[in-house]
Amino acid sequence: MNQRISISRPIRAAGWISLLVFLSSCQPPARTNVVLLIVDDLGWADTGVYGSSFYETPNIDELAERGIRFINFYAASPVCSPTRASIMTGKHPARVKITNWIGGEQKGQLLQATYGRHLPLEEVTFAERFQAAGYTTAFLGKWHLGSDGYLPEDQGFDLNIGGHDAGQPGSYFYPYEHPNNDYWDVPGLGGGKKGEYLTDRLTDESIAFIKDHVDDPFLLVLSYYNVHTPLQAKEELIEKYKQKAASLKPCADESFTPESDRSVTRRCQDHPVYAAMVQSTDESLGRIRAELERLGISDRTAIVFVSDNGGLSTLSAGRMSMPTSNHPLRAGKGWLYEGGIRVPFMILWPGMTEPGAVRYSPATTMDIAPTIEEMAGLPPRELSARDGVSLVALVKSDSNDVNRSLFWHFPHYHGSGNRPSGAVLDGRYKLVEWLEDGSLELFDLESDPSELNNIALFEPSTTERLRQLLHDWREGVDAEMPTPNPDWLVE
């Protein structure tokens, strides 16, 4: 009798163990959290992993070492609001009718094209799709896609801290207010203390959100105001980079090259305040990753890192000094040359990304929404509802190349000295069209990544093919176009 009991107990125990293993296998796997970090105006060459020796970005560099880095990743626009619209919707800015930074009003030989002053509510953002799938969603930082009625809380976010219609803060120090214009004051950040830095505060609020949702699937978008103007940073970091700059050879006159007859491009990095702002952003990423590790959820949290346009390296003659350089890429923010639209992009997706992998396939900010939606297990959108494509297959395997043409439409003037223009990238060739007179530039980016040699006259068939491709695309998305300025001759 006792012997039967002693034999049956382990059998019964083994049965229970098997049942528990079976039941646990039936449970759905933990859903992937997504942290999307958007840096404002961070240039392609503004981090160590992308080539900077002046700016110190150990946490961003480590993200690339542990995840995957894209070399030829493009913002959908050379300025902020259009790119942000593309990130939120997966659509081209020309399709959603936001082609300029909201508030931009410059004119010249042409009157700028009409553009939307808010992201339409009928556009379905990735936040709305995450929210519908049971995620808790939060947006912190720069929005610049509309005012009351069109804020993050109206576009799928459960929490909004700091997001409003302005594109830069009144100040980077508490209480984050402009001395003469409350339009720039950053909302939702009361209770701070003197000396508190905006990037640090937004990081504190992000970490608090993560702590509150350890057991829930969450989407966190931390949209830094850094490194946009006003150029303000913590004094101890400024002093650090002043000393570093003093040890370097000063930027020579030849480091500032004419971009046109009315603008200049900076080709070296030595700005202490800007460097300090970059470091504060890097430290923020480090703190968030450390908190994910401490909470034990880093293995089920994907981090995506991107900038909204090229670094501010080109400005009209006589304006304030431009703070950074995108060299060897040409020009910067506001331009459709590579320095204005190519940006850093990295993904850390534990268990899915090969550490230190690099991808060279061209991709764009329109791809972010479909990518993070697939990462979270959401069903794909209808093709008619997006212009971007998911990069998940490319992230998992370099053999899955994304072969397509990319288009840009910027029918506006900009403080960088740029004029209304459009562009198309097709394979190795890139065409830029200037809308004032229809003049064309063709570059072979494989042999001329700095876009120094216009080969349009030497490659007439390629030039005409790309010009027609660009025009057909503009017609297909019903792009708004600039019109002649009747007062131009008398101004």
Q: Which CATH superfamily is domain 29-404 in?
A: Alkaline Phosphatase, subunit A (3.40.720.10)
Residue 422 is predicted with a pLDDT of 99
Annotate the chain with three-state secondary structure.
Answer: CHHHHHHHHHHHHHHHHHHHHHHHHHCCCCCCEEEEEEECCCCCCCCHHHCCCCCCCHHHHHHHHHCEEECCEECCCCCHHHHHHHHHHCCCHHHHCCCCCCCCCCCCCEECCCCCCCCCCCCCCHHHHHHHCCCEEEEEECCCCCCCCCCHHHCCCCEEECCCCCCCCCCCECCCCCCCCHHHCCCCCCCCCCCCEHHHHHHHHHHHHHHHCCCCCEEEEEECCCCCCCCCCCHHHHHHHHHHHHCCCCCCHHHEEEEECCEEEECCCCCHHHHHHHHHHHHHHHHHHHHHHHCCCHHHEEEEEEECCCCCCEEECCCCCCCCCCCCCCCCCCCCCHHHHECCEEEECCCCCCCCEEECCCEEHHHHHHHHHHHCCCCCCCHHHCCCCCCHHHHHCCCCCCCCCEEEEECCCCCCCCCCEEEEEECCEEEEEECCCCCEEEEECCCCCCCCCCCCCCCHHHHHHHHHHHHHHHHHCCCCCCEECCCHHHC
Q: Which residues of the chain have pLDDT under 70?
A: 1-29, 252-255, 261, 317-320, 400, 490-491
Residue 332 is predicted with a pLDDT of 96
Global pTM reads: 0.93
Residue 193 is predicted with a pLDDT of 94
Residue 20 is predicted with a pLDDT of 39
